[in-house]
Structure 1
Amino acid sequence: MVDIEQINPRNQAALRAWWEVGRAATADRPGNPWPAWEQTRVSLPADNPEGAVTVLAAIDGREMVGAGLLMRPLRDNLHSATVDAYVRPDRTREGIGRRIVDELEVVAAGDGRRTLHGEVFVPPGATGTGPEGFAEALGYDIASREAIRELAVADYLQRHDRLVDAAAAAAAYRIVTFDTVCPEQHVASFGRLLGMLFDEIPLGDLDLQASAWTPERIRDAEQRQVGIGRHVLTALAIAPDGSVAGSSDVRVNETDTAHGQVGITIVDPDHRGHRLGLALKVATHDLALATYPGLLAVATSNAEVNAHMNAVNEALGYRTIETLLELQKQL
């Protein structure tokens, strides 16, 4: 009989078994979809001012056969939560995934969360897949579609000179780069830009609302990243008037310096049309390579309807490897 139990992420033996389930469940996906154990060991138990987590395990006898995770924002979008469920490949089609999701929904509802988000990953352009059917059966609708792309660093380097020439269109803006901690003179303006994010990126039908990023909130988030060994290699575009007109970052964990992940890329609408998106991405990728010469690949995701950013990624050499279906359910 399979029992669904909450586990303490500070219990390393239980967390390692949980991590192994997730690694097995994602092993057939392309790219680098599952974090290194050392990263999970540090990051999941760590205090997070941005969100609270609940970790579930499906246990059969003395074996863990399923894993679940509920993440609840604490600073904004307090009506929402994110649900993740994984089942060991040899134990699928037994109802374990459904039971994990059901329990996560109970926890979310008990915390007053009425909108649940989730993700499934399918081959590029695929429809009618098993993950889609599972989500539909549980009442989750597809709210947005994103392209998961991966960049081989070797391809980027072959294009580099042409990219630098194209980014020269942004010469009126000064590019400032930093590792994780924003320079004090830019932090307030940077927060103003971050507060635009959900108003400016394509969200589809996702029920998410813009938020305020005060200097204090930014500093709290930075300290968490430093504490868990994640380097947020960031570029800011500084307008002639000194304001932050755009930002992009590449994130690299100390536990796996061969792989990076693009985080947030945003350009203030008042400053578009100057190729800032391209200039910022070239700056962050160059900073990542200068910091981590062994970097092999960088991953990113963007809404399929975000034609401009997708064109920028293609120019850098990114290639689509998966389709991400962003799911939503109203309780």
Structure 2
Amino acid sequence: MADAPSLSIHLNDPADDDAFHAWHGVFAAASSHDRGPDAPVWPEPELSAELRTQRSSSTTEIYLVHGAAEADSAIGAITLTMPLSDNLHRVDLGLYVEPGSRRRGVGSAMLEFVRSRTRELDRRVIASEVFRPYRDEKAGEGSADAEITVPGIAFAEHHGFTSAIGDLRSECQLPLDPALVRTIADEARPFHEGYVFHSWSGDVPEAFVEQWALMEGLIETDAPTGDRDVEPEVTSAEDIREQEAIFVRQGRTSFAAIAVDSTGEIAAYTQLVHSSVEAMVYQWGTLVRDQHRGHRLGAAVKAAAAHQFLQAGLDARAIITYNAEENEHMLAINQRFGFRPVERIEEVELNLDASG
């Protein structure tokens, strides 16, 4: 067995732009190599604002990895994100190895560092994601999926990670057809009499921000969770305002819609986020509360947010969304808008108490 490589792993100073630039270089090279040229890879300005901003509800550590000779280019990059208000047993891991430095034990040595750091933080679950090409089983391509060797999945399995839930990345090519959006809204309307809809662009109105925060916290566990070792999030209005401030620095614009019941409670919500840097739109959370399902509120709020986006006239190539493969109802709504799956994501977890 080959000896573990000698690595130099340094915590980035949040104020060090050069260090983050080097980190992003490894992240981008690894992500494009693993997922292909069409996969969304966050540009440096956007990811910098996301990862280097101190938040109330979480903290992120960014590490840059060199070989024994630190003067050489970086060969690895790590992010560890730790929730501070809930899920105190978890660490969310991003681990990236520069493609030319693989199959030398670099990733394994980096993961050993992550294990040690997770123990230091008194946490027990390391959560991450691995990606595989999408194969349409209904089109007779299901067997091909099993034949593909996916390095990230093989690495995770080798080191004791288990699959927690499978997701699909789907894309809807733009521009949206306004007539289709109106049709979807019209089809849903007879089913949700008694609900009032609100939609907007930009920040969440003050009148709704507390309830919006509640919805943001619930989506982590009210949506399908598979076998993830996760608890409901504690999200506050302060968290929402912090995220909105990050949007400003990223050049992003939010388009949102809610359905409110007769008591004034938010029954359903959704959010689209436009990136001016990427010319891309991301479909963020959509949730219908359990007691309000069956009224086609999911389709209705999605149509309302889509209408807000269309009114803005912003340029974008596609809308990207992620859904659990088992969430057939939401996948069906998305397909109605024109979304098609393009990638599979495996959410994996390593329980250090179980693995030793």
Query: Under a length normalisation based on structure 2, what TM-score does the superposition of the two structures give?
Result: 0.85
Contact 1:144 1:326 in 2 (8 A): yes
Report the Cα distance in structure 1 between the residues aligned to 2:53 and 2:217, rounded to whole angstroms: 25
In the TM superposition, 1:143-154 aligns within 5 A as: 143-154=164-175
Task: Name the residue aligned to 2:140.
Answer: none
**Is 1:319 paired with 2:340?**
yes
Shift of 1:198: 3.2
Task: Name the residue aligned to 2:351.
Answer: 330
Between 1:220-229 and 1:22-31, the stretch displaced more is 220-229
Contact 1:21 1:65 in 2 (8 A): yes
Superimposed CA distance per residue, residues 62-119 of structure 1 (whole angstroms, 9 cap, x where no aligned partner): 2111111111111211110111111112221111112222212222221111111000
Q: Choose from 106, 109, 124 the match for 1:114.
A: 124
SS where residue 315 of structure 2 aligns?
Answer: coil
Q: Choose from 296, 300, 303 the match for 1:275.
A: 296
Superimposed CA distance per residue, residues 134-154 of structure 1 (whole angstroms, 9 cap, x where no aligned partner): 001111100100111111113
Query: Under a length normalisation based on structure 1, what TM-score does the superposition of the two structures give?
Result: 0.91
Report the Cα distance in structure 2 between the residues aligned to 1:45 and 1:214, rounded to whole angstroms: 20
Relative to structure 1, the CA distance from residue 103 to residue 158 in structure 2 (aligned partners, 3 Å threshold; closer, same or farther) is: farther
Identical residues among aligned pairs (%)? 27
Contact 1:245 1:267 in 2 (8 A): yes
Task: Name the residue aligned to 2:139.
Answer: none
Task: Name the residue aligned to 1:52.
Answer: 59
Q: Give the aligned length.
A: 330
Task: Name the residue aligned to 1:129.
Answer: 150
Relative to structure 1, the CA distance from residue 42 to residue 185 in structure 2 (aligned partners, 3 Å threshold; closer, same or farther) is: closer
Contact 1:180 1:225 in 2 (8 A): no
Larger radius of gyration: 2
What amino acid is the match of 1:21?
Answer: V
Task: Name the residue aligned to 2:286.
Answer: 265
What amino acid is the match of 1:36?
Answer: P
SS where residue 164 of structure 1 aligns?
Answer: helix
Task: Name the residue aligned to 1:236.
Answer: 258
Contact 1:252 1:260 in 2 (8 A): yes
Q: Choose from 6, 20, 35 the match for 2:25.
A: 20
SS where residue 208 of structure 2 aligns?
Answer: helix
Report the Cα distance in structure 2 between the residues aligned to 1:101 and 1:292, rounded to whole angstroms: 45
Contact 1:145 1:325 in 2 (8 A): yes
Contact 1:4 1:59 in 2 (8 A): yes
Shift of 1:281: 1.2
Between 1:296-305 and 1:185-194, the stretch displaced more is 185-194
In the TM superposition, 1:199-210 aligns within 5 A as: 199-210=221-232
SS where residue 100 of structure 1 aligns?
Answer: helix
Over aligned residues, Cα RMSD in angstroms? 2.2
Shift of 1:37: 1.6
Report the Cα distance in structure 2 between the residues aligned to 1:180 and 1:73, rounded to whole angstroms: 26
5+ residue gaps, structure 1, are none
Shift of 1:122: 0.3
SS where residue 64 of structure 1 aligns?
Answer: coil
What amino acid is the match of 1:150?
Answer: E
Task: Name the residue aligned to 2:87.
Answer: 77
- Whichever structure has more strand as a proportion of its residues is 1
What amino acid is the match of 1:47?
Answer: Q
Shift of 1:19: 0.6
Relative to structure 1, the CA distance from residue 172 to residue 296 in structure 2 (aligned partners, 3 Å threshold; closer, same or farther) is: farther
Q: Choose from 187, 204, 214 the match for 2:209.
A: 187
Task: Name the residue aligned to 1:173.
Answer: 195
Shift of 1:255: 2.8
SS where residue 301 of structure 1 aligns?
Answer: strand
Shift of 1:215: 3.5
5+ residue gaps, structure 2, are 1-5, 136-144
